[in-house]
Amino acid sequence: MFKITNKEAGQAAGVSVKQNVEHFPCTKCGALLKFTPGTHQLTCEYCGEANEIGVRTEAILEYDFHQALQELAQAKPNADVSEIQCDACGAGFKFEKSVHAGECPFCGTAIVTGTAQARPITPKSLLPFKIDEAQAKQQFKRWLNGLWFAPGKVKKYADDDAKLTGVYIPYWTFDSSTETTYLGARGDIYYVERRVQYEENGRVVNAVKQVPQVRWTPVRGRVTRFFDDVLVGASKSLPRQILEHLEPWDMDNLIPYDENYLKGFSSEYYQVGLDQGFDEAKHKMDNVIYQDIAFDIGGDQQRIDQFNTTHNNPTYKHCLLPVWSAAFRYQEKSYRFVINGRTGQVQGERPYSYWKIAFAVIFGVIAAAGIFMLLDHAQMLQTLQRQ
């Protein structure tokens, strides 16, 4: 569980505090280092020396959700963090309110600050970047060139040398053992014979057909399911639908939080609270539980009138996951996109060419009309042959 130290408690309640800044000097020349994606190394940009990160092997723990809520209710307000002092150039500056890792705006030195002063719950695990910026750009180019109905000028953006920003996005993960009771009805289809009239080849035909009916039977029941690592993005800087479409993540490869992996990248504090995150997770769980109930009811059709879910012993983790992020402008509008820093999966916003869509619709109508004419001609030939 998270704990607030005496020092942090004394800095709370609106008191301005100086950020704790971590520096990682090269073991060969003393210059500052940056993490190299796909490795466990910090690389010196000056002498090229690779400095190994000591990989920690402790288990990634789950934390009690209800206990955390109690501690959060008793925690004092977060400190008002003051400016950061860059040791490389001596400049003072501030990150954006939601950011705790990035670069000095004056000299470009990689800076990582502690998170405990600004948030009571600190990240305990992360997935390091696996693909570098060059690989991410290649993935973006493939995605952009594969977009249907995109304006031609937009696709030319793939050839531009746009800079991507590597960002560690905060996430919550939730585990929960659920028990759900429900009321509903099971629908079984049966058939009855009905005499019907219909027109065929210009003649009225009488026939007996099998007509489906549904027999509804009231049901009640109980389903259980254990949910493991339900992911909820804790950032508000990117739309939730974009973040969710970056899944799946290889959560089995989470490693203990180590600020070394943040060197040279930006990183955000969580902006979605723990309780808000669990509400989002419960919504995701409800969608799965609904399917479980439908399967439990059985039959040909199902009607679910109400259900009530109990969450037993929910737990959480707070972790950081890597994305490459950028945006491009088209006709005075900005379009954002992100790339999964582990898999290269691309998701984002995109413009459409209405001319291309209009031509596609016109072509589709012409093609459909041509097919209809061929079918009509074939039917006329069959009629003539019967006569």
CA distance 108 to 46: 13
368: phi > 0 → left, psi -120 to 50 → alpha, else beta; which? alpha
Range of the domain at 267: 6-177+224-284+314-352
User: Residue 223: what pLDDT?
Assistant: 98
Q: Pick the most confident of 66-75, 305-314, 321-330.
A: 305-314
Looking at residues 104-108, what average pLDDT do you find?
A: 48
Bridging pattern class, strands 99-103 and 266-268: antiparallel
User: d(Cα 320, Cα 266) in Å, to the nearest integer?
Assistant: 11
Residue 127 — very low, low, confident or very high, per pLDDT cuts 50/70/90? very high
Q: Is the pLDDT of residue 22 over 90?
A: no
Task: Count the domains in the chain.
Answer: 1
Does residue 212 register a pLDDT over 50? yes
For residue 82, is pLDDT > 80? no
- Predicted local distance difference test score (pLDDT) of residue 204: 83
Which of the residue ranges 92-96, 262-266, 339-343 has the most confident prediction, judged by mean pLDDT? Answer: 339-343
Predicted local confidence at residue 45, as pLDDT: 75
pLDDT number for residue 106: 38
318: CB partners within 8 A, 6+ apart: 121, 122, 123, 124, 125, 170, 171, 172, 234, 270
**pLDDT on residue 64:** 96
Distance, in Å, from the CA atom of 316 to the CA atom of 1, rounded to the nearest integer, reads: 10
Whether 297 is covered by a domain: the verdict is: no
Q: Is residue 216 assigned to a domain?
A: no
Confidence (pLDDT) at 4: 39
> Distance between CA 112 and CA 235 in Å, rounded?
18
Q: Is residue 198, in this structure, part of any structural domain at all?
A: no
What CA–CA distance (Å, rounded) separates 230 from 250? 13
What the block records as the tokens of 60 is: 């990634």
* 210 belongs to a structural domain: no
Is the pLDDT at 67 greater than 50? The verdict is yes
Pairing of strands 80-81, 16-17: parallel
Lowest-pLDDT choice from 51-55, 232-236, 272-276, 373-377:
373-377
Number of Cβ atoms within 10 Å of the Cβ of 152: 8
pLDDT (tens digit per residue) in 155-198:
565 555 567 889 999 999 999 999 999 999 999 999 998 888 87
CA angle 165, 171, 177 (to 5 degrees): 160
**190 is a domain residue:** no
Mean of the per-residue pLDDT values for the chain?
78
Residue 324: pLDDT band (50, 70, 90) is very high
Distance CA 124, CA 56 (A): 12
C-alpha separations of 94 from 22, 111, 129, 332 in Å: 15, 11, 25, 30
Q: Is residue 147 situated within a structural domain?
A: yes
